[in-house]
Structure 1
């Protein structure tokens, strides 16, 4: 029960911070105005979910209910471990993001949001790696987090655009242009995810220990994550090379229906991957 709450808190927090960074980043790339109110809600959500994650972590460590926290343990985590400084940096970044969003500067929100998202690297396996290897691991993890946030934000905007799309020439041309312009950004995102994910995998497991993952829970979850990532790549390729050109044709109705299904599946796969990452972060790879 407690472990499930911890995984759920990690999932919700990762998704919240990914959207807080990814939405304004995609709006900036697309030249869109953005919605400050949504970012205000995400910044506030990031603060609340960070507190929930802290209490869930304390509950998982002590075995007590999250509804009656072990305050001495919470104080120890905040004052004698890296969790305190990490949460302080995240809280400051979220506050700055909140101020930017409330001041109707939503695209600037991406900068402090990127800092807040980067702090996730210090609360997982990368945070436990020491010396120079730890620095390399955390740099790769931050790159992985930022790339994933860019993809999540783009999917959210594109999903909204395609589900609210009216089949008129002007509207379909606008959405098709968004999909086409995302192609270069998507290529950079995928390349970053592949390189940084490979580094993370080697740092966490080690090349010599890879065979030990076969049959383990960690190995199965990692395999599921990679399978879902491959599914997302396949759907992105179909969107880029088949459905977007079809949307630009004279009869886009069928392309719209296929794009809605494709983007819905791709977004669901992305959320499932974040859920798997949240679960993997609580496991010992060699356990």
Structure 2
């Protein structure tokens, strides 16, 4: 039961921190001026406040569950010394402290959002990046030593940041494409601009995910397939790659069909049709991305080296 709870907490924390960084960074590179103010386009302040608070709670719960599993203690009084040891004497504890501090900084940044929305989002984005990067110390990279450890952790961090930017952008675009009572030509123009703006960002994201994904495989498994694909790690990795390919297909569809369709709708007046088509496509892409997040969280708990022996 503890293993299941740990897995669910790990999945929830991954998704939460990916969105903290992704949503804040989307506000930085896709919105301008008053568009960044919460409520003008997206409810950025309450969304980021909820995600940051959830990240702290999930981090606390995760640390307690991991320490409980390692120590075998269930009583809080008996568990407390083990928690102190985890925080003071392990890399995981140090990463946890950095994460919670970074999430607190996100909350502080949001207190100035109404006066300085641009500065607020910049700080939240950078702090969110630090919080997200801290997850690398609970993955395979933390098990390496020397220069290999440094390069593996760097690859893991870049992979996490690219995934967070993609996930956050997908959520933002889904919310912006809602055809509610407030949807008009001005919102359509903003949506079309955001989609076009995301084109170059998306290209960087895909390149980063591809390069770091290959690098991480080489770090963990090595330049061979062997019997890896026959074990649980290999099967989950193959599913992840297949789903990633599906996301690329949808991204190409958005870039070369739905994006231009959205721009043409500014001329022919078919606003809702174009926006709904884009929203459905991005929503499917977002759903696939969430499944991949689950697979990544799961893969981080498996050891292909042990399976291959």
Partner of 2:202: 186
* Post-superposition CA distance 1:53-108 (Å, at most 9, x none): 11222244356669998444433322332122111211221221211112212332
Partner of 2:161: 146
Q: Distance in 2 between matches of 1:77 and 1:164?
A: 49
Q: Residue 255 of structure 2: SS of its match in structure 1?
A: helix
Residues 1:37 and 2:46 aligned together: yes
TM-score (normalised: structure 2): 0.86
Q: 1:49 aligns with which of 51, 58, 68?
A: 58
Uncovered stretches (5+) of structure 2, i.e. residues with no partner? 39-43, 114-119
Q: Distance in 2 between matches of 1:60 and 1:285?
A: 22
Partner of 1:81: 90
Q: Determine if contact 1:6/1:60 at 8 Å carries over to the other structure.
A: no
Residues 1:102 and 2:111 aligned together: yes
Which sits farther off after the overlay, 49-58 or 73-82? 73-82
Uncovered stretches (5+) of structure 1, i.e. residues with no partner? none
Q: 1:275 aligns with which of 294, 302, 306?
A: 294
Partner of 2:274: 255
Distance 1:188 1:60, change over 3 A: same
Distance 1:282 1:63, change over 3 A: farther
Q: Distance in 1 between matches of 2:103 and 2:184?
A: 39
* Post-superposition CA distance 1:202-251 (Å, at most 9, x none): 1111113x222121001111111111111111101101100111122223
Partner of 1:220: 235
Q: Residue 103 of structure 1: SS of its match in structure 2?
A: coil
Q: Determine if contact 2:185/2:271 at 8 Å carries over to the other structure.
A: no
Cα-Cα RMSD: 2.1
* Post-superposition CA distance 1:28-55 (Å, at most 9, x none): 1112414223222222111111111112
Q: Determine if contact 1:58/1:69 at 8 Å carries over to the other structure.
A: no
Partner of 1:21: 21
Q: Determine if contact 2:156/2:212 at 8 Å carries over to the other structure.
A: yes
Partner of 1:121: 136
Q: Residue 163 of structure 1: SS of its match in structure 2?
A: coil
Q: Determine if contact 1:6/1:53 at 8 Å carries over to the other structure.
A: yes
Q: Determine if contact 1:13/1:50 at 8 Å carries over to the other structure.
A: yes
Q: 1:196 aligns with which of 212, 218, 230?
A: 212
Q: Determine if contact 2:179/2:275 at 8 Å carries over to the other structure.
A: no
Partner of 2:116: none
Q: Determine if contact 1:22/1:154 at 8 Å carries over to the other structure.
A: yes
Q: Distance in 1 between matches of 2:74 and 2:246?
A: 38
Aligned residues: 286
Partner of 1:91: 100
Q: Distance in 2 between matches of 1:142 and 1:66?
A: 35
Distance 1:167 1:20, change over 3 A: closer
State the Cα distance separating 1:153 from its structure 2 match. 1.1
